[in-house]
């Protein structure tokens, strides 16, 4: 990889200032960015580490009951800290990659990258979470804008993610065994006013809500409720791991498994 200046600020303000430098990029856990830089897919001139800023770390409970997770909190820490308060999110975090990856990778890094096969976009969109940045709050429905694309402006930093806690929820993924990313994953969350279903790994447009299933599950929150549904293979990812038709089928299968797990 090409060389760069490395800076590790200890406050959000200093991080924002450092990110205004020419060709600066933020570095969270680095589990995607460092491999991308090795391949020269990314070549920042300045890397601004976000791992030394205490206010970006940790899990807490807001007054309204929401689970608030600092953007630089690692997957491993989230798995531990949310086990009692939002088990579906704890299970999702504890199933990402492998233990060593979970000890470095962060929720904010994963969301800012918006890999079409990452787990967090499904958990965040499926929960209807809010992404808080240094300048504003962004609803999950507005945040994800296609493969590797988000609503974030240059220099904007995710500081926190706020998850409303549903009545029942679960995540189910079919893993691509080499990369451990989701070949297809479904996050299902049942709230008092309806059900949300978010699918990752399947679509060329990145994470998306499966509205048809949301409607069917809103009427009857049972695995059988999605049996009669099908998803079009149009726009689904096709690669050596699976055809678009295979992924379209997995959307229903993984949703069904997630609902069964949430019972």
Partner 1 sequence: MPQVTMTVNGRQVMREVEGRTLLVQFLREGLGLTGTHVGCDTSQCGACVVHVDGKAVKSCTMLAAEADGAEVTTIEGVTPADGGMNPVQKAFQDHHGLQCGFCTPGMVMTATALLAENPRPSPQEIRDALEGNICRCTGYHNIVKAILAASGQDVSALAAE
Q: How far is the CB of 133 from partner 1 (least distance, A)?
A: 23
203 contacts 235 by C-beta, under 8 angstroms: yes
Q: Tell the residue number behind the tokens 């960015």, with chain if given.
A: 33
Task: Rank residues 60 and 100 by Cβ distance to partner 1 and give the closer one.
Answer: 100
The number of residues making up the chain comes to 263
Q: How many helices (H) and strands (E) does the chain have?
A: 10, 12
Residues lying near partner 1 in the complex (CB under 8 A): 1-6, 8, 27, 30-31, 34-35, 37-38, 47, 49, 51, 76, 97-101, 103-104, 178-180
In this structure, how many other beta carbons lie within 10 angstroms of the beta carbon of residue 9?
17
Task: Rank residues 10 and 20 by Cβ distance to partner 1 and give the closer one.
Answer: 10
Q: Please spell the DSSP secondary structure of 30-77, one letter per residue.
A: -TTHHHHHHTTS---SEEEE-TT-GGG--EEE-TTS-EEEETT-BHHH
Task: Rank residues 49 and 133 by Cβ distance to partner 1 and give the closer one.
Answer: 49
Task: Rank residues 76 and 197 by Cβ distance to partner 1 and give the closer one.
Answer: 76
Q: How far is the CB of 52 from partner 1 (least distance, A)?
A: 9
Q: How far is the CB of 162 from partner 1 (least distance, A)?
A: 26
Q: How far is the CB of 2 from partner 1 (least distance, A)?
A: 7
């Amino acid at each position: 990889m090409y060389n760069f200046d490395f800076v590790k600020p200890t406050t959000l303000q200093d991080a924002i200032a450092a990110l205004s430098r020419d060709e600066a990029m933020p570095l969270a856990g680095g589990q995607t960015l460092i491999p991308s830089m090795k391949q020269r897919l990314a070549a920042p001139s300045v890397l601004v580490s976000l791992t030394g800023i205490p206010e970006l770390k940790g899990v807490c409970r807001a007054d309204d009951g929401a689970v608030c997770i600092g953007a630089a909190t690692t997957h491993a820490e989230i798995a531990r800290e949310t086990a009692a308060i939002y088990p579906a999110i704890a299970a999702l975090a504890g199933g990402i990659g492998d233990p060593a990856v979970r000890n470095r990778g962060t929720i904010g890094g994963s969301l800012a990258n918006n890999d079409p096969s990452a787990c967090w976009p499904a958990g965040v969109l499926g929960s209807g979470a809010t992404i808080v940045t240094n300048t504003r709050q962004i609803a999950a429905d507005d945040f994800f804008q296609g493969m590797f694309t988000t609503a974030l402006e240059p220099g904007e930093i995710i500081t926190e993610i706020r998850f409303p806690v549903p009545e029942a929820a679960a995540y189910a993924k079919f893993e691509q065994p080499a990369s451990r990313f989701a070949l297809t994953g479904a996050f299902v969350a049942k709230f008092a006013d309806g059900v949300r279903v978010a699918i990752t790994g399947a679509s060329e447009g990145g994470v998306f809500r499966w509205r048809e299933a949301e409607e069917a599950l809103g009427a009857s929150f049972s695995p059988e409720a999605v049996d009669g549904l099908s998803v079009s293979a149009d726009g689904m990812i096709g690669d050596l791991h699976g055809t678009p038709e295979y992924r379209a089928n997995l959307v229903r299968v993984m949703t069904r498994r997630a609902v069964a797990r949430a019972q």
